[in-house]
Every structure is written in structure tokens, then in C-alpha cells.
Structure 1
Amino acid sequence: MNDKDAAGIVQEIDATHNAAEQGQVATDKYGHSLVQINPRVERKLRTKIDLYIVPTVALLYLFCFIDRANIGNARLAGFEKDLNLVGNDYNMVLSIFYISYTIFEIPATITCKWMGPGWFLPLTTLFFGITSVGTGFVQTRGQACALRFLLGIFEAGMMPGIAYYLSRWYCRAELAFRLGLYMVMAPLAGAFGGLLASGILKLGHFGTLHTWRMIFGIEGIITIGLATLAFFTLTDRPATARWLTEEEKDFAIARVKSERLAATVVLDQIDKQKLLRGVLNPITLSTAFIFLLNNITVLGISFFLPTIVKTIYPNRTTIEQQLLTVPPYVVGAFFVVLVPTISWYLDRRQIFLALSGPTVMAGYAMFLASMNAHVRYGAIFLTASSAFTLGAMANAQVSANVVSDTARSVAIGTNVMFGNIGGLIATWTFLPWDSPAYHIGNGLNLACSTMLVIVAMAALLWMKYDNKKRDSRSAEIQEELAGLTQQQIQDLDWKHPAFRWKL
């Protein structure tokens, strides 16, 4: 290395350190980054963060989803019969989870920011693991509803909390892929949960627990173990990461900060103005509605796939029916990683929201058109291939279209809260008296996937239109910001005249 190269690296390190300091902005007034980034150094740092951060949150989310959806596996193993559930009682037990899950979504996300994800995520995992174990001992419908309500409280902060946590570490284009790496655990939870449930049911007993009760007990204990481990492995933010050097900490902070227009800090203080900017952001609201529509399908699959498979292949054994739920989830998991990978390469998200709809539409059209077992089972693969991808893409899109850390946390929380309303609707889509054709459930999902495409495309066209309108006023930025303090400029968030919607 010659003296000129060495001097350049020293200058780059100094610039990165300055950009990482409190009170320093990392963008100019037009939103252009002031940080010089060495791609080789960035790639090395990103890989290091991947290895330390992603595996832990992925495992936590895997068992979060298993502990939520294993009630579908328990149903095949006698859950309804043992608790004397009749008519719509099972749907009621499912619904109670989403009532608390929705109510506590935004409060849990704000608590995650206030407490710090490094503490919040393991703690809430510990609580829903304990709740899962407790579900193995319920004797009545009322007890089951009470435990499911508690489970909703403790799981409310997991999906938005992890998405928000990852936004502390990754740039906009990178985030969708990393969200995909942990959200792939949702379809894998269906696959792994089916395999695990079939294996557990082969046991004679687990302590005093038998049949479906063993599913809740064993899977809950595993969750408690993972939560305990996470207390020691999760690092709250780059500045506190013992496994990063001081130079790496500065670089990790500066590169995230370089995408946050007019921001002087990465982790700002919570205030009302920024909370409102996150909730009332047009792309937050449109994406949240898209996520609501999508979750009607995703969570309908999660809760009712074992039941649907049973209506398709009624003569198979319970173990065989459990195993038949696995392949569609494997296909879904593949696309949950593939689509965010392409999104990362293109730095585009909105178009992928729209493209998720047509295959779901085709799948439910097949359900409505045919009672042939092979056609209906094949339709499940079509719906799973794209429906699960929106968990990563929707959260990445709302994260990309706000500026401050506070706005980002509540925007993600709002998106997931709307998704949970979709989950509540999903619990009533496949009703016992509508079996085996399920015209209501399949028709509703077809309508939702169609509406999803319309809303996503309309939002994309509006974003392009508004960006052009903002471009036409770019020469007036200095004039529009005249007289505002640095704090007032930061509080503008997406209303800053230099802000552009990220497609």
C-alpha cells in the first residue's frame, strides 16, 4: 500500500467517525450521503453482523410462530374433543389471541424501543414460552381462551420488535433480505411444527402430559431455553457490541445514519411528533392495509392447513395428515428468501408487494373451481409460494419510507398491528359448517388477494407522482427550511422537502 492509499483510508476513517458522533449529520441538505464507504470493508462488517445477529432472532421467531400456530396441530390430536369444544368454539379460542395481539402491538413496539431490543426480545420470549407450557394443562374453553389472550400480549412485540431491531443494524436495501432470513421461520415453523408435532405424538407421555398436551409442553420448554440463551447473545445496538472494534462500531452507526435525512443521531428520543410521523405516513398506512389483506391468507393457512388437509385426504392417518402440511411450507420458505434477495439486488419493494397477489388469486380460484384432491392440494402450494413473502417486504417498505428511529419503530408496529387485524379475520374464514369446500374462506381470500394488487399498484403510482412533484420543488429546499431549528428540521421526517419515497 502506498502513502497516498494509506492517507485516503485514514481520511475515510476520520469521516466515518465524525458521521457517527452525536450532533453530526451524515447527509447534505438534499439527502445525499456524506459518508465515504469502502465496499470491501462494508461487506466484511455486514457479514459479521449477519453471523452475530440473524441466527438468534431467527430462532426466537421460529418458536414464536410455533407456539402461536401449534394449536392447529393440537386440533388434529384431540384438542377440541378433550376441551368439549363444539360449533365455533375453536374459532373463538383462535380469535382471543388476536384481540390482545392487536391491542398491545404498538405499546409493545414502543416498549421495545424504550427498553432496548436486547432486553425486550428475550424477556417477552420467556413469557410466551411459559404461557405455551401452561396451555398444556388447560381443562376448559375458558382456560384456553385466557392462556391464548396472554400469549397474544407476550407475542405482540416479536415481529415488529425484531424488524425494528434489525433496522438499527442494516441499510435500507439490505433490510428486506435480513427480514426474510428471520421471517422465513414462519413457513418453516409450519413445516417444522408439523414434523415436531408428529414426532411428539409418538411419545407415550411427557411427565403428566399426554397427546396434544405434550405439543404445548415440550415446545414451550424449548422456547424458554432459547429465551434464556438470548439474554446472553443479543446485542442491543452497534455502540454496545463487544464483538465489534471501535472502528467497526463507528462504521456501523455511520452507514445507517447516512440514509437518515438531517438526522444527528441514529437512536433518537421518543416524542409525540415523530410517533405521529410514523403512524400517519401514507406508505405506512397503505402498506399496513396490504399486510392486513395478506395476513388473512397467511394466518388462515397457519391455523387451518391441518384442517384443510384433513378434508382433502380424510382417509389418511393423523400422522400422515400432519406430514402432508410440511411440503407447502417448505415451498413458502424458499420464496420468503428468494424474493427479498431479488429486492436487495434491485433496491425495490413496492412492486414485489403487488406481484405477490396473482399466484394467491390463482390458488384460491382453483379451490373454488374444483373438489379434486390433487388440484386442491396443489393450490396450497400456489398460495404459500407468495403469501408468506409479504412479512419481510411490507416491514422493509415501511422502514424504508420514514427517517427517524422513533418513526420507524411505530411505523413497523402500525404495519404489524394492521396485519394482526387480518389475523383476527382469518380465525373466522374457515368455519365448520362450510366444510369441506369452504366457499366462504376461499372466496374471501380470493377477494383479498385481488384487492391487495390494486392497492399496491395504486400506492406505487402515487409514490412516483409525488416524487416528481417533490423534484419540481428541489430548488426551493433552502427557502422551505429557512428559519427552522435543527430539531424542527429533523421532526419533519418524510415531510422534509428533500425526502423521496423509496420504491
Structure 2
Amino acid sequence: MSFLGNARLANFETDLSLTGYDYNAVLSAFYISYILLEIPANIACKWVGPGWFLPLCTIGFGICSLCNAFVQNIHSASAVRFLLGAFEAGLLPGLSYYLSRWYRRSELVFRISLFVVAAPLAGAFGGLLSSAILKLPHFGSLHSWRIIFAIEGLVTIAVGLVSLFALTDRPETARWLSQDEKALAIARVQSERIGVTEVLEQMNFTRVVRGIVNPSTIAVSIIFLLNNITVQGLSIFAPTIIKTIYPQHSIISQQLYTAPLYVSGAAMTMIISFMSWKSDQRLVFVLVCAPFMVCGYVMFLATTNPHTRYAATFLIAAGAFPFGALCNAQVAVNVISDTAQASAIATNVMFGNLGGLVSTWSYLTFDAPNYHIGNGLNLASSSTIIIITVLLRFWMDLDNRRRNLLNVDAGLASHTRQQIRELDWRHPAFRWRP
């Protein structure tokens, strides 16, 4: 998404004759397919197998990115963005689900962060790369912002092709592991599956629903929705915001100004995720990060001083980007079965992209240059995150105390073995993990 923001500074709108809210409409086309296909895509990932599904989605995304270089108007641009969303729908939840096949719950957040950190790094390199690319006179017959998309697409296709041969579905099929190592990897994950006899069970509707209607999944998904209003808005509009802060600077200079704030987001993502892994806590770190965003947007609303506003973008990025790892790990650790994990993660990312859809309409041209509406919306969403997180943590502690009083054997006495396997978080021995 960040490359579109960079392209906007390089006359993307002018070249496609976009006026009024056309740019926002192009952005929205991406999220429509992304949201609609999120859960079906992750179910397909489990059914097909991540080793094939994720590389094919990557290749499809790369082809669509390349097509961005050849769009001529709002219609072709929107169509390509719609297809981009369709292929990306399976990537973030699919990768999170894939890692849940390999790692224990406490380890998951840091492992997810190792690819989630690619988002702020892509923003950083996007600014640097765009600045370098825009100095090229042409790339074949392509010029200006079209070169950005062409190079992005070709690199993505290459990565997808390599991953077709490098990625394996699960520990049992990993060619680089010995039999003892495979058995250990399976046993480590199996040890946390209460009431389940296999790591990768057959998919059924009950298990899918258990992941979606899980109270932790719903609450965390709302948190991720609110966070993505900021994260996706930053990815899309950071170059535009920088332009309002330093309007006299050149386009290349404005592109370069976006890079450091993404680096701060990447650094914070790794630090927070590492601390979360070692402490086996996630919600407490949500409460650590959210105030950074609150402070950043208060600074934006309180002053028009360019240096203060630029400093605020660092706080916002540092607070916003760690949520990708924290939220996906939080929903994954509070379900049991492999199928429930797939649907829970997909639900979380689907809600997150509802926030992304909202973000495409958060910074509108009539609100420039100070964007009081957009900054106010983000201040409200980041403040609400704090309230929901506190309430969720309080409810988890309360429900765990209730579960401690239950007689597990008596609670399972009237259930068949199949019903016990499908209880998931409703199993009386299950405890919420904040």
C-alpha cells in the first residue's frame, strides 16, 4: 500500500485524471476484495496447504502489482487494486496460521513479528526506493511512478517463484529436519492442544465457528480494526502528510522524510514482540503501545509546528506497527484446534482491513493541510483501544477464576469423544491467556 502513497507524490492522480475523491475510491477497491475473501482464503490455505497456497498468492500479487504500471484511468486502476486485495487476502492470515503449525503459543508473537516487521520496513524502503527510482529516466517504456510498480511487481513474482520450492506445509514434510526433529516439533505444538488428539485435524464447520465467535477473537479483532485505521492510513497517506509538513521541499526529499518514521515502527515492533515472547504476555504490551499513538495525534491537533508534527509521526509509527504481531498472536493463543486458529486469525485480519477501508476515507482533500478530521479520528480510535484492552483483560481474569471452580470431569461427563474434540475454548480445562 505504501508504494501507492509514494506514487501519489509523483503525479499518479494527474496522469490518471483523478479528481475529487477518485484517489480514495481507488484505495477502497483494494479493501473490498480483501475483506470479503479473508476468511475463505485462510480456510483455503488450510485445505490446499500453505506450501502451495502462500507462494501462489504471492505470485498473483506480484502480477497485479506489475499491472499497476500500465493502468490508464480510474477504472483500470480500481480493477487492479481489487485483484490485488483478492491475492493479498490470504497472505497475512495465512502466514500467521502457518507459523502456528510450528511454534508454541508463547513463541508465536515474536515469530509473527519477523514478517509483520516487513510492513514498516517496506514503508521505509518504499520511500528510499521510490526516491531512487524517480531519478531513472525510464524503465523500458515506463516513466515516473509506473517504474515503481513495475519493479515492485517483478521482485514479488521472483520471491513467489522461489518460495514455491522452498516452503513446506508442516514439520512432517520439512526436508531439512531429521525424524527426531520432526517428532519434537509436532510434540511441542501438540502439548498445548487441550482435548485434541491431532495437530492438523480435519476441517469442520463447528471448529471454524469456534474460532470466529471466540470472545477473545471478537474483542481483539475490534482492537485490530481501530489500530488499522492508523496503520493503513499511515501506509497510504504518510507521503501526503509529510508534504503538508514540508511543502517547500522537493518530491524526492519528501519521499526520503517518510523512511525514518517507518524504521522507528520496525524497531518498536521487534522490541515489543521480543518482550511479549519472553513474558508470554500480549495485552499488557497493547497498553504500552496505544498511548504512543494517543500522544502523537494530540501533538498533531495541538500545533502546526512542522518539527513537532514530524516528531509526532515517529510516536504514531512506533505505537501502531507492533499490533500486527500482538493481535494475531493473541487470537491464535486463545483457541485450541488448528481449524479454529485458521478462522480466528482470518477474522482478526478481516476486521483489521475494515479499519483499512475506513482509513482510505480518513484524510480527505477538503480537510488539508491540517487534516483535523483524520487526526481526530485516529486519536479517538487509539484511545478506544486502551478502554477495550483494559475491559478484555479484566474479563479474562474474571472468567479464568470462574473456570478454576469447575469440575472438569463432571463438565465432560455428558459429552462424546467427538464433542470433546470440538469444544475448543469451551473446554472446562481451557484458560484464557492475556
Of 354, 360, 364, the residue aligned with 1:421 is 354
Q: State whether residues 355 and 453 of structure 1, in contact with CA within 8 Å, keep that contact through their aligned partners in structure 2.
A: no
Equivalent position of 2:122 in the other structure: 189
Equivalent position of 2:375 in the other structure: 442
| Cα-to-partner distance string for 1:151-209 (whole Å, 9 max, x where unaligned) | 00000011000000000000001000011111010100000111111111111111111
Of 332, 344, 361, the residue aligned with 2:277 is 344
Equivalent position of 1:478 in the other structure: 409
- In structure 2, what is the Cα distance between the partners aligned to 1:202 and 1:268? 53
Equivalent position of 2:58 in the other structure: 125
Give the count of matched residue pairs. 434
- In structure 2, what is the Cα distance between the partners aligned to 1:353 and 1:157? 25
Equivalent position of 2:231 in the other structure: 298
Contiguous gaps of at least 5 residues in structure 1: 1-67
- In structure 1, what is the Cα distance between the partners aligned to 2:36 and 2:263? 31
1:486 Cα shift?
A: 2.1
Of 152, 166, 177, the residue aligned with 1:233 is 166
Question: Partner amino acid for 1:494?
Answer: W
1:350 Cα shift?
A: 1.4
Equivalence map 1:379-418=2 (5 Å): 379-418=312-351
Equivalent position of 2:421 in the other structure: 490
Mapped pair 1:203 → 2:203: no
Q: State whether residues 110 and 409 of structure 1, in contact with CA within 8 Å, keep that contact through their aligned partners in structure 2.
A: yes
| Cα-to-partner distance string for 1:47-67 (whole Å, 9 max, x where unaligned) | xxxxxxxxxxxxxxxxxxxxx
1:262 Cα shift?
A: 1.5
Secondary structure of 1:356's partner?
A: helix
The TM-score normalised by the length of structure 2 is 0.99
Secondary structure of 1:136's partner?
A: helix
1:352 Cα shift?
A: 1.4
- In structure 1, what is the Cα distance between the partners aligned to 2:285 and 2:194? 25
Contiguous gaps of at least 5 residues in structure 2: none
Of 294, 306, 313, the residue aligned with 2:246 is 313
Mapped pair 1:499 → 2:430: yes
Equivalent position of 1:248 in the other structure: 181
> What fraction of aligned residue pairs are identical, expressed as a percent?
57
Question: Partner amino acid for 2:341?
Answer: R
Equivalent position of 1:116 in the other structure: 49
1:354 Cα shift?
A: 2.4
1:484 Cα shift?
A: 2.2
| Cα-to-partner distance string for 1:312-361 (whole Å, 9 max, x where unaligned) | 00010111000000000000000100001001111011111222211100
Equivalence map 1:73-84=2 (5 Å): 73-84=6-17
- In structure 2, what is the Cα distance between the partners aligned to 1:143 and 1:232? 33
1:485 Cα shift?
A: 2.4
Would you identify which runs of 4 or more consecutive aligned residues in structure 1 move more than 4 Å?
A: none
Mapped pair 1:265 → 2:204: no
Secondary structure of 2:60's partner?
A: helix
Secondary structure of 1:325's partner?
A: helix
- In structure 1, what is the Cα distance between the partners aligned to 2:279 and 2:418? 33
Q: State whether residues 358 and 449 of structure 1, in contact with CA within 8 Å, keep that contact through their aligned partners in structure 2.
A: yes
Structure whose alpha-carbon radius of gyration is higher = 1
Question: Partner amino acid for 1:485?
Answer: T
- In structure 1, what is the Cα distance between the partners aligned to 2:288 and 2:45? 32
Equivalent position of 1:51 in the other structure: none
1:453 Cα shift?
A: 0.4
Equivalent position of 1:456 in the other structure: 389
- In structure 2, what is the Cα distance between the partners aligned to 1:275 and 1:235? 24
| Cα-to-partner distance string for 1:394-436 (whole Å, 9 max, x where unaligned) | 0000000000000000000000000000000000000011001
